[in-house]
């Protein structure tokens, strides 16, 4: 009998199918006490765990596991898992790439348009009954998207999907990445990307090289009118530096779906700026994508338990 710890019920029927498997016992987190404590208390005899990017799986947790075979994360990101340590113990780490690329790129693109065209502030204005003057030639003017320069930092799956969308919007697309890619975008060095772009979009995952990659020095190189858009990992941006840059008006604004600390506290100084659009980590949050992620995460898990190759291994 294999024992699997499951953080959340997931969309679709995939976990239900697993529940019917007589060889597998699923133990769900019951929302009592901290999730970390639950993992610590139950991981010793677990063969697999199905978690999300909120659960930190570090050496302390891994050391308690005596027979763990697989850590399946319901996310593309795996910065919350000590992957090298898990591997050194023979534990397979799996994730859910590809299926969430398009949904995430859609949201990032939407954030960019929302920030540039005052969609959120316009919506709030009407809801607050503050639209008094009617149509007016200089009312709530924003920046255009078409014809503008989009700078993408990082050209993995999400970067490529953003570039694809941007070409439909007739943008000039430049990118910076460790490697050159065969994409409809021009490679430039980082300083050029920062100084030329009207929109700087971060499409980086989080690792030791990308932690606080966007700091005050880099923000200072951006156009005063440019927007920073981040929809991948919050810790890639030094938030204190972003606050400083917004205070000093050295950039035009920002749109963020991810933050250094989530959920965002309402005292977070970023929230005081009118030229920032924020959403609560919704990149992959569509019915279709979360269903596909559930399929992949469950399949990864059951494949490893059944001694088969997972669909995606980190």
Q: What are phi and psi of 239, to 5 degrees?
A: -65, -35
* Cis bond before residue 162 (omega within 30° of 0): no
HSE-up (13 A, CA, CB side) for residue 229: 29
Using the minimum distance from each CB to ligand DGY, give the nearer residue, 253 or 283.
283
CA distances from 275 to 114, 150, 236, 248 (A): 10, 18, 20, 13
Q: Catalytic residue at 309?
A: no
In whole angstroms, how close is the CB of 213 to ligand DGY at the nearest point? 17
From the list 9, 98, 144, 262, the catalytic residue is: 262
Q: Catalytic residue at 281?
A: yes
Rounded to an integer, what distance in angstroms lies between the CA atom of residue 110 and that of residue 115? 9
**118: contact with ligand DGY by CB under 6 A:** no
Segment lying near ligand DGY (by CB under 6 A), choices 70-78, 121-129, 180-188, 264-272: 70-78
From the list 80, 165, 233, 290, the catalytic residue is: 233
Q: Catalytic residue at 262?
A: yes
**75: contact with ligand DGY by CB under 6 A:** yes
Q: 235: which DSSP letter?
A: G
**159: contact with ligand DGY by CB under 6 A:** no
DSSP reduced 3-state for 188: coil
**284: contact with ligand DGY by CB under 6 A:** yes
Q: Which of residues 38-57 bind ligand DGY (CB under 6 A)?
A: 53
Rounded to an integer, what distance in angstroms lies between the CA atom of residue 193 and that of residue 250? 16
**230: contact with ligand DGY by CB under 6 A:** no
Residues labelled catalytic: 233, 262, 281
Q: Which residues bind ligand DGY (CB under 6 A)?
A: 53, 75-77, 100, 283-284
């Amino acid at each position: 009998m294999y024992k699997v710890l499951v953080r959340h019920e997931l969309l679709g029927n995939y976990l239900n199918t697993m529940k019917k498997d007589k060889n597998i016992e699923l133990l769900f987190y019951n929302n009592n006490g901290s999730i970390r404590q639950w993992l610590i208390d139950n991981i010793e005899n677990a063969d697999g765990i199905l978690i999300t990017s909120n659960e930190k799986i570090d050496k302390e947790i891994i050391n308690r596991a005596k027979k763990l075979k697989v850590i399946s994360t319901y996310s593309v990101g795996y910065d919350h898992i000590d992957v090298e340590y898990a591997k050194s113990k023979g534990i397979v780490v799996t994730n859910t790439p590809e299926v969430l690329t398009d949904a995430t790129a859609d949201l990032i693109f939407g954030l960019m348009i929302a920030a540039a065209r005052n969609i959120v502030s316009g919506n709030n204005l009407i809801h607050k009954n503050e639209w008094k003057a009617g149509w007016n030639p200089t009312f709530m003017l924003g920046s255009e998207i078409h014809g503008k320069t989009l700078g993408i930092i990082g050209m993995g799956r999400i970067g490529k999907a953003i570039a694809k969308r941007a070409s439909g919007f007739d943008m000039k697309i430049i990118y910076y990445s460790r490697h050159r890619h065969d994409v409809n975008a021009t490679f430039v060095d980082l300083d050029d990307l920062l100084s030329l772009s009207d929109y700087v979009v971060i499409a980086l995952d989080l690792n030791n090289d990308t932690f606080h990659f966007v700091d005050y020095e880099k923000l200072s190189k951006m156009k005063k009118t440019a927007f920073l858009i981040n929809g991948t990992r919050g810790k890639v941006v030094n938030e204190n530096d972003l606050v400083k840059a917004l205070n000093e008006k050295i950039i035009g604004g920002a749109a963020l779906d991810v933050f250094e600390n989530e959920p965002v506290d309402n005292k977070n100084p970023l929230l005081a700026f009118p030229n920032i659009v924020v959403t609560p980590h919704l990149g992959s949050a569509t019915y279709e994508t979360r269903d596909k992620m559930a399929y992949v995460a469950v399949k990864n898990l059951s494949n490893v338990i059944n001694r088969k190759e997972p669909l995606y291994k980190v």
